[in-house]
Amino acid sequence: VKYENLTHIAHAFIWPNRNGSLYIPSGFLYPELVQAAHQKGLLAIVSVGGWGQSDGFSPMAADSNARRQFVNELRDFCLRNGYDGADIDWEYPTSSDRVNATLLFKELREAFNNTHPPLTLSIAAPATDWQEGYDFSVVKDLVDWIGIMTYDFHGTWTDHAGHNSPLYAPTSDQDGSVHESVQYYLSKEISPQKLCIGLAFYGRLFNASRLYDRSTGGEAISYADIIAKQDSGWTYHWDSISYVPYITNPSNTQLITFDDTISIRHKCDYIKDKNLRGAIIWALGYDNIGNHQPLLETAGKELGFTLTYAQELLIGHSAPGYALQQNYPNPFNSQTVITYAIEQSPAFVKLTIHDVLGREVATLARGWKPPGTYTVVFNPEASLLNPVASGVYLCRLNVNGKSSAITMLYVK
């Protein structure tokens, strides 16, 4: 994984049982992934639910005792295994779940806010909430972001071939698009800064000769496998209406709709033009080609997360858009004050303390911050579960994937 192109890693999936207990598949725990994410300055979150694993949500949410058990177990699971939050992928609540889903998110938010630092809470949401399972007038203020699953607009369930993730849709096709999904959520008075669109690193293979013709098939195929087909003689086409490509086989009996680096660039431009929070991806690894991940690298470059880890860590006090001041007092033997500033637009901030080996020993701040100046008091004895030795420590401010750092001397 090219971590330099990311802000979060979502580890999928665990899910709820009907009684509120967590089902954790055998072999799911992956402490190396969580550790690697943290070492690179990313947040590691756990994805809960997913397609085929969401049957327990409805009965759990409907029972106050089961709901309480689920909330407590999920919070404890995150804290015990080092996750920074949870992404709820309930596929899908219906109108009869609406009230209970709201109660669930209220209780999750309360429990997550009572950890130190607070755990993040987000939703993987459908392209449109056609079953009206979420009361977004309430839920929008309970979550840190909403990841809209803007893919799978066509597939095995449609009777015709079509784009997997069109940015726009022709008037003749009523199956939706990225733009229509964003407009739907904006119509719910949700801030664009809470919305992420979905980027698909896979496509759909149809048995059809033309787009929108009747078809069979529609199975998913990874970007890496699509490129292999293109290299074997399939013909590339660009849809100037939907801003996505497709390829057809030499006999013109099959076609694959997908995203490539060009369409990913267009979607990143859309994110910036609409002032959206960012993007979610399904799924990392689907674009692995040799030593490259062309779709991930393109998204990272276009959205501003392209610095390598070594380049990110600017040993100094400031960088464009934010500033980190030297702590005072320094050296210190009980506590010290750290001041930082966000100078322009709202930004995702993480303020951490690291030892000389680069290991993170404390998180002092994490989350979206409006422009302004912030101060944090760091007391090693009060802030840390495990005592630390005297010595040199690094305070690192990560803002939207870029970092500055200061050195501090702790003397017991």
**pLDDT number for residue 38:** 86
Most confident of 3-12, 67-76, 298-307, 365-374: 67-76
**Shared-domain flag, residues 242 and 333:** no
**CB atoms < 10 A from the CB of 322, how many?**
22
pTM listed for this prediction: 0.77
If one compares 348 and 159, the residue with the highest pLDDT of the two is: 159
**Shared-domain flag, residues 120 and 208:** yes
Overall domain count for the chain: 2
**pLDDT number for residue 71:** 99
**Shared-domain flag, residues 144 and 190:** yes
**pLDDT number for residue 386:** 64
**In the 8-state DSSP scheme, what is residue 118?**
P
**Shared-domain flag, residues 288 and 359:** no
pLDDT tens string 14-65: 999 999 999 999 999 999 999 988 888 889 999 999 999 999 999 999 999 9
**pLDDT number for residue 401:** 67
Query: Is 362 inside any structural domain?
Result: yes
Query: Pairing relation of β-strands 318-319 and 322-324?
Result: antiparallel
* Inter-residue contact 159 to 173 (CB < 8 Å): no
**CB atoms < 10 A from the CB of 348, how many?**
20
Total residues found in the chain within this entry? 412
**Shared-domain flag, residues 404 and 259:** no
**Shared-domain flag, residues 298 and 326:** no
**pLDDT number for residue 332:** 87
Question: What is the SS3 string spanning 183-218?
Answer: HHHHHCCCCHHHEEEEEECEEEEEECCCCCCECEEE
* Inter-residue contact 148 to 181 (CB < 8 Å): yes
Return d(Cα 80, Cα 74) in angstroms, integer.
10
Nearest partner of 254 among 217, 290, 283, judged by Cα = 217
CATH number for the domain spanning 366: value is 2.60.40.1930
Of 274, 303, 332, which residue is a domain's last? 303
pLDDT tens string 259-303: 999 999 999 999 999 999 999 999 999 999 998 999 999 999 898
Show the domain range for 284.
3-303
**pLDDT number for residue 385:** 53
**Shared-domain flag, residues 268 and 336:** no
**Shared-domain flag, residues 165 and 294:** yes
**pLDDT number for residue 306:** 33
**Shared-domain flag, residues 96 and 231:** yes
Which residue's structure tokens are 């422009």? 371
**Shared-domain flag, residues 222 and 327:** no
If one compares 334 and 244, the residue with the highest pLDDT of the two is: 244
**pLDDT number for residue 151:** 98
CATH number for the domain spanning 134: value is 3.20.20.80
Of 303, 330, 359, which residue is a domain's last? 303
Question: What is the SS3 string spanning 344-383?
Answer: CCCEEEEEEEECCCCCEEEEEEEEEECCEEEEEEECHHHH
What's CA 13's distance to the chain center, in Å?
A: 14
Structure token digits, residue 4: 């330099």
Beta bridge partners of 152: none
Nearest partner of 80 among 68, 88, 89, 72, judged by Cα = 72
Query: Once rounded to an integer, what is the mean pLDDT over residues 156-167?
Result: 98
Of 243, 272, 303, which residue is a domain's last? 303
Query: Is 314 inside any structural domain?
Result: no
Q: Is 236 exposed, middle or buried (0-12, 13-18, 19+ CB in 10 A)?
A: exposed
**Shared-domain flag, residues 294 and 336:** no
**Cα-Cα-Cα-Cα dihedral sign, residues 234, 238, 241, 243:** positive
Query: Is 130 inside any structural domain?
Result: yes
pLDDT of 104 over the 70 cut: yes
Which residue's structure tokens are 């009572």? 114
If one compares 331 and 387, the residue with the highest pLDDT of the two is: 331
